[in-house]
Amino acid sequence: DARVTQTPRHKVTEMGQEVTMRCQPILGHNTVFWYRQTMMQGLELLAYFRNRAPLDDSGMPKDRFSAEMPDATLATLKIQPSEPRDSAVYFCASAWGQGRETQYFGPGTRLLVL
Amino acid sequence: KNQVEQSPQSLIILEGKNCTLQCNYTVSPFSNLRWYKQDTGRGPVSLTIMTFSENTKSNGRYTATLDADTKQSSLHITASQLSDSASYICVVSASATGTASKLTFGTGTRLQVTL
């Protein structure tokens, strides 16, 4: 049963600390998305990659967030330095195709920045 | 400004009953509309994806409709079950090429099915 996996599932950290979230897309999928979800804003697309190349990261605060895909089986989202307003659930999703394909979401990383 | 509005914000129905969730959008140019189901504490799961030319699409007891002229979509759930209790999120893509970067998200409808 192929799934998107994310680690850690929960993270509590102090303001100013670096946070790294990891995602393993479904094997064979060529597109990876990072989303953030909060009660106030709902779901927001932060960035996405196709064939490991970043296609759009306009939803991401550039000064503190960075997203990479070191290889086809790993995507990372890093926040440095973290702030309380970054507290949210961060979802990774993967898909195969060119844009209209079904996205499969991971279970999310619940981040709390104190 | 691209917007997606969903109604109602929340809904409680008895098990076995039908219900309809609404999604109105002002997104241009329209590419596709997706409905997701999100259980508490989990990631969203795709229910349907509809393009401009599709009026209706079903996935089991879920049926989505799309009226591109009025820019409205609905998600109809038939013979509801307790497991249908979740948030349902409408997402519209504004990209002419269908790329993900132009997604606009609704805030969701919270459905609770009770005995």
Give the model confidence (pLDDT) of B60-76 as tens digits: 999 999 999 999 999 99
For the residues of chain A, what is the DSSP string, one character each? Answer: ----EEE-SEEEE-TT--EEEEEEPPTT--EEEEEEEETTTEEEEEEEEETTEEEE-TTS-TTTEEEEEEETTEEEEEESS--GGG-EEEEEEEE-SSSSSPPEE---EEEEE-
- Distance from C-alpha of B82 to C-alpha of B112, rounded to nearest angstrom: 8
Using one digit for the tens of pLDDT, what is the confidence trace for A31-53? Answer: 999 999 998 888 999 998 989 99
pLDDT at B112: 98
pLDDT at B97: 54
* Three-state secondary structure call for residue B31: coil
Chain A residues near residue B103 by CB distance under 8 angstroms: 45
pLDDT at A101: 77
- With 90 as the cut, is the pLDDT of residue A100 above it? no
Bond preceding residue A81 cis, omega within 30 of 0: yes
User: Is B93 or B59 the better-scoring residue by pLDDT?
Assistant: B59
- Subunit contact A45:B95, Cβ cutoff 8 A: no
pLDDT interval class at A114 (50, 70, 90):
very high
* Contacts for A86 with CB less than 8 Å, ≥ 6 apart: A19, A64, A79, A111, A113
Nearest chain A alpha carbon to B108: A42
- Compute the mean pLDDT over every residue in chain B, rounded to the nearest whole number: 91
Using one digit for the tens of pLDDT, what is the confidence trace for B3-26? Answer: 899 999 999 999 999 999 999 999
Residue contacts between A and B (CB atoms, under 8 Å): 56
pLDDT at A1: 66
pLDDT at B60: 95
* Three-state secondary structure call for residue B84: helix
- With 70 as the cut, is the pLDDT of residue B86 above it? yes
- With 70 as the cut, is the pLDDT of residue B31 above it? yes
Testing the interface with B: which of A100, A104, A105 to mutate, by most B Cβ within 10 A?
A: A100
pLDDT at B100: 55
Burial tier of A85 (Cβ tally within 10 Å: 0-12, 13-18, 19+): exposed
The mean per-residue pLDDT over the stretch A12-28 comes to 97
pLDDT interval class at B109 (50, 70, 90):
very high
Nearest chain B alpha carbon to A95: B100
- Distance (Å) from the alpha carbon of A68 to chain B's nearest alpha carbon: 17
The mean per-residue pLDDT over the stretch A4-21 comes to 97
Tokens 């196709």, located at residue = A50
The token duo for A37 is 């979800």
Share of chain B above pLDDT 70, in %: 94
- Subunit contact A43:B44, Cβ cutoff 8 A: yes
Using one digit for the tens of pLDDT, what is the confidence trace for A48-98? Answer: 898 999 888 888 888 999 999 999 999 999 999 999 999 999 999 999 876
Task: Judge whether B57 is closer than 8 Å to chain A, CB to CB.
Answer: no
Task: Judge whether B43 is closer than 8 Å to chain A, CB to CB.
Answer: yes
Of the candidates B100, B107, B108, which has its C-beta nearest A99's C-beta?
B100
